Amino acid sequence: MTMPFTLRSGGAASWALRLVAGAVLVYVMFWIPTQASNGVIDTCITALTLMAAAMALNLLLGYTGQISIGHSAFFGIGAYTTGILVSRYGWSPFQTLAVAFVVAFVVGALVSLPALRIKGVYLALVTLSLGLVFPQLIKAPKMEWLTGGARGLDKTGFKFTKKNPTYEIFGWNPWGNLRGENVKPFLYWIAMIIVIIVYLACRGVVKSRAGRSLIAIRDNETAAAVMGVNLAVTKGLAFGLSAALCSLPGCLSAIRTGNVTPDSTNLTVLGAITFLIVMVVGGAGSLWGPIIGSALYVFVTDRTGDWSDKEAIPAVLRPFFGWSHTPPGSGIFAVVLIALMFVAPFGIVGMWHRVVRRFVKVVPRPAGTGTIDTPATAPAEA
């Protein structure tokens, strides 16, 4: 069967497509904070937070094959590092990001030690209990002097006063109005930068030698070890980096809301499960999977957020969801997740690839460093 279209990876058409997609992305990236309403910006920050967390988890689960249902703990480490340093010691929120990164890296690397022996669903069990223990540890009486116990910490964000200047570039103020309460664009840019950092870190790891050893561990641990992958070091780094990256959106959540409590959703096991679900729905083991999954999840939960009130449901859908006492967002997503396991185990991105491959013949870049027109020469037979 001949394909209607042929696309050479690295060819002119492929670069043009990338350029168009990149331009659209950048346009949207700038459109949201400058043109959209505050409510929309706020929803976008929520989506960006989830994206960063899901991408961090993807590095560990999607690429290395180590199941974690405890990433809420690393998210919480980020939130509490920022919270404690800002509210108790008066640091600037930006400085705390680096500290959170280091702390979470160390804790993540420690968690990788049992993961050297414990595999598969048993590891899921260990991480699940870690996720359950974390909020309790925060609430423990012995920790109260540091973490504020069940009440949590407040004043963990930026202190904006009348003195803060407003930055303008030819009449355009990219950070929003820092003088008043209207600081959403500013927070949006912090979130966007964190997402970009996490994306670049994941991309850098995945497309390198380290990434190939992660995938080797995922596909066959014994074979990877035989091929010379150092399991202990690689797993330790994967856990550490994944935890460290996951702590960044945690810091963001503390900066954004200005307070940290042990019972906020992203710090509990339900948060960890949400990270996992959006990642798998989007496509585990693909760079764009978590991004698409998170965007979709936040879109659905935002649209259906007020559906516990019957009047808010569109008339067509009222018979389906009118009986529900709670917004149906998480239920819908759970059904989508289960359905995807039947039809497309690699999520939306995997499905997209399958559909595209039906119409477009993608010629991969030849192995080695040659240009696209000279196919890599096969090694001569001895």
Partner 1 sequence: MELFLQRLADGLSQGSVYALMALGLVIIYRGTGHLNFAQGEMALFCTYVVYQCGEWGIPIGLALPIGMVVGFALGAVTEVALIRPVAKKSPFAVFIVTLGLFQFLNWLDGAIWRDQPLPNSGVGSVQQQFPSLFPSKDTDFITIFGADIKLQSVGVFVLVLALTGALFLLFNKTKLGLAMNAVASNAESAKLVGIRTNMVLMVSWGIATAIGALGGVVFAGINHNVNLTLMFTVFIYGSAAATLGGFDSPGGAVLGGLIIGVIENMAAGYADEWVGQQLKVGVAFVVIVVVLLVKPSGLFGTAKVERV
Distance linking the first and last C-alpha atoms of the chain: 36
SS3 state at 186: helix
Q: In terms of CB distance, is 76 or 185 closer to partner 1?
A: 76
Q: How far apart are CA 279 and CA 123, in angstroms?
A: 18
Q: In terms of CB distance, is 140 or 197 closer to partner 1?
A: 140
Judged by the rule CB under 8 A, the positions of this chain that interact with partner 1 are 67, 69, 114, 117-118, 120-122, 124-126, 128-130, 132-133, 136-137, 139-142, 222, 269-270, 273, 276-277, 280, 323-326, 328, 330-331, 333-335, 337-338, 341-342, 345
Q: In terms of CB distance, is 200 or 232 closer to partner 1?
A: 232
Q: In terms of CB distance, is 117 or 163 closer to partner 1?
A: 117
Cα 364 to Cα 6, 8, 173, distances in angstroms:
11, 6, 44
Region at 362 (left for phi over 0; alpha for psi -120 to 50; beta for the rest): beta
Do the beta carbons of residue 76 and residue 84 sit within 8 Å?
no
Q: In terms of CB distance, is 229 or 255 closer to partner 1?
A: 229
CA 29 to chain centre: 17
DSSP 361: E
CB of 329 to partner 1, least distance (A): 8
CB of 274 to partner 1, least distance (A): 8
What single-letter amino acid sits at 303? R
CB of 89 to partner 1, least distance (A): 25
Q: In terms of CB distance, is 32 or 77 closer to partner 1?
A: 77
User: Closest Cα partner for 138 from 72, 92, 49?
Assistant: 72
CA 291 to chain centre: 7
CB of 123 to partner 1, least distance (A): 9
Cα 212 to Cα 19, 194, 224, 237, 377, distances in angstroms:
27, 25, 10, 14, 23
CB of 266 to partner 1, least distance (A): 15
Q: In terms of CB distance, is 69 or 205 closer to partner 1?
A: 69
CB of 147 to partner 1, least distance (A): 12
Q: How far apart are CA 83 and CA 264, in angstroms?
A: 14
CB of 342 to partner 1, least distance (A): 7
What single-letter amino acid sits at 361? K
Q: Is 237 exposed, middle or buried (0-12, 13-18, 19+ CB in 10 A)?
A: buried
Q: In terms of CB distance, is 9 or 326 closer to partner 1?
A: 326
CB of 325 to partner 1, least distance (A): 5
CB of 70 to partner 1, least distance (A): 10
CB of 362 to partner 1, least distance (A): 25
CA angle 169, 174, 176 (to 5 degrees): 120
User: Closest Cα partner for 310 from 298, 291, 300, 323?
Assistant: 323
Q: In terms of CB distance, is 83 or 271 closer to partner 1?
A: 271
H or E, element range at 255: helix 231-257
Count of CB atoms within 10 A of residue 311's CB? 8
Q: How far apart are CA 45 and CA 291, in angstroms?
A: 13
Q: In terms of CB distance, is 47 or 340 closer to partner 1?
A: 340
